[in-house]
Amino acid sequence: MLRRTKYILLFLAFKSRKNIAVHHKRFTGLLHPGRNKIWGLPRPRKPPFSLSIDPSPGLRSGDKPATARPALHLVKNPYQRLIHLLRNKVQTMKRTPLKLTATALILGSAVLGGAAAAEYPERPVSMVVPFSAGGPTDTVARSLAEAMRNSLGETVLVENKGGAGGTIGVTHVARAKPDGHTILLMHIGFSTAQSLYKNPGYSSDSFEPVGLVLDVPMTIIARSDFPANNIQELIEYLKANADKVSLANAGIGAASHLCGTMFANAIGVDLLTIPYKGTGPAMNDLLGKQVDVMCDQTTNTSQHIKAGTVKAYAVTSKERVPTLPDLPTMQESGFEGFEVGIWHGMWAPKGTPRPALEKLNKALQDALQDKAFQERMQGLGANLLPDRANPQALADHVNQQVPQWAELFKKAGVEPQ
């Protein structure tokens, strides 16, 4: 883009016989009519593209600019500034009034407009995970960030903003600058929290959907020395000792909260719940035997189940999980209709420009085709959703999920907090 823009500017410089100072995020320079050259000057502190006219007479070939101090500093929207420049400055110049043809103007605006869009991302993209580091969402995000990097042409940095069942992090993204440099990776809690909280701080309308990512089953687990050895023993133990058992979760609205509450309700017990900012730290306490039971995603529990450092009782998917073949489903264990899949989606704040959304979506789709990402996620029991990794599919899914959960909670008598 720079070369084409440079020729437009050179044309202007030539017509006006003035030097044009160009400030771009990659360079600062002075274009002058006598020579097809930009002298590189130190990079400006403020990155946006800007144009200005040097009031001194145009330099001739071989001359060196003393300074590139512009008479008129033009920042922000380059198209607007260019028009302003042409109308108000160049045309009033005595030496050679500039007659810029409509074609050149259109060409210029197209080049500059296209340039602005083509530049996303301008810096690393922050992928917000609304839970602690080391947990299941974080695990997905870190692999996904790595897989998106090539396609996006920029680093994707994972930022953990845990608390209040994920609503703090989600709200943070809802309020972030909508320029595509802050995105959200969240799961089913995006829709459940909208009716579990009176004011979750956001709504579906606060976002631009990018696409669905994957679906993760949950597992019911306990500390390694917990007395129950299978799901039947677990049910009996919990019924007899409900007041002695603690249930870890990641706060109201989190997947672990949803699954744990459904399980406790299904067997009719009321357990002491211990909320964390994510199931990463909750898992640490389970491994340290400070809490007893948890329902958590296979993206966090698989390795511990395989290593035998936790006891596992069942999976919440309809079918058994291929990587954990010994674990029965909840349905097999007698919990008719107990099926919870933790779908994950990616969003950007409302108002994020279309070109940035398209690039993000492309990067997401490319990541879902990435062999290393596929293997890692499937190894942790996740199902990738490449056919639904698009804005419409995520919007439709959320529009179906939000009222569905609202109705379920209402029926169950769950009051919003």
Residue with tokens 């500017």: 9
User: Of 98 and 170, which CB lies nearer to ligand ASP in the complex structure?
Assistant: 170
CB 107 → ligand ASP: shortest distance, Å? Answer: 50
Least Å from the CB of residue 14 to ligand ASP? 59
CA atoms of 249 and 246, how far apart (whole Å): 10
Residue (209 or 260) nearer to ligand ASP, CB? 260
Q: Among residues 82 and 283, whose Cβ is nearest to ligand ASP? A: 283
Contact 205, 197 (CB under 8 A): no
CA separation (Å) from 77 to 16, 51, 57, 109, 134? 22, 10, 26, 11, 41
**Which CB sits closer to ligand ASP, 189 or 211?**
189
Q: Output 136 or 200, the one with its CB closest to ligand ASP.
A: 136
Count the neighbouring beta carbons within 10 Å of the beta carbon of residue 60.
11
CA angle at 407 for the pair 406 and 412, rounded to the nearest 5°: 100
Q: Which is nearer to ligand ASP, 85 or 262 (CB)?
A: 262
Counts for the chain of helices (H) and strands (E), in that order:
13, 14
Quick one: 256 or 390, whose CB is closer to ligand ASP? 256
* Minimum gap (Å) between residue 413 Cβ and ligand ASP: 22
Quote the least distance from Cβ 7 to ligand ASP, whole Å.
51
Cβ density class 172-194: b for 16+ within 10 Å, e for less: bbbebebbbbbbbbbbbbbbbbb
* Count, residues in the chain: 417
Nearest to 300 by CA among 383, 385, 377, 185: 377
Q: Check: CB of residue 140 under 8 Å from CB of residue 384.
A: no
- Alpha helices (H) along 54-166: 78-84, 102-118, 136-152
Q: Based on CB atoms, which residue is closest to ligand ASP, 189 or 381? A: 189
Q: If phi over 0 gives left and psi between -120 and 50 gives alpha, with beta otherwise, what is residue 16?
A: alpha
CA distance 172 to 195: 19
Work out the burial of residue 127: count CB atoms within 10 Å of its CB; fewer than 13 is exposed, 13-18 middle, 19 or more buried.
buried
Amino acid letter at 333? S
Minimum gap (Å) between residue 118 Cβ and ligand ASP? 35
- Site of interaction with ligand ASP (CB under 6 A): 131-132, 135-138, 189, 250, 254-256, 278-280, 297
Which residue, 54 or 138, has its beta carbon nearer to ligand ASP?
138
What's the CA gap between 378 and 365, in Å, rounded? 16
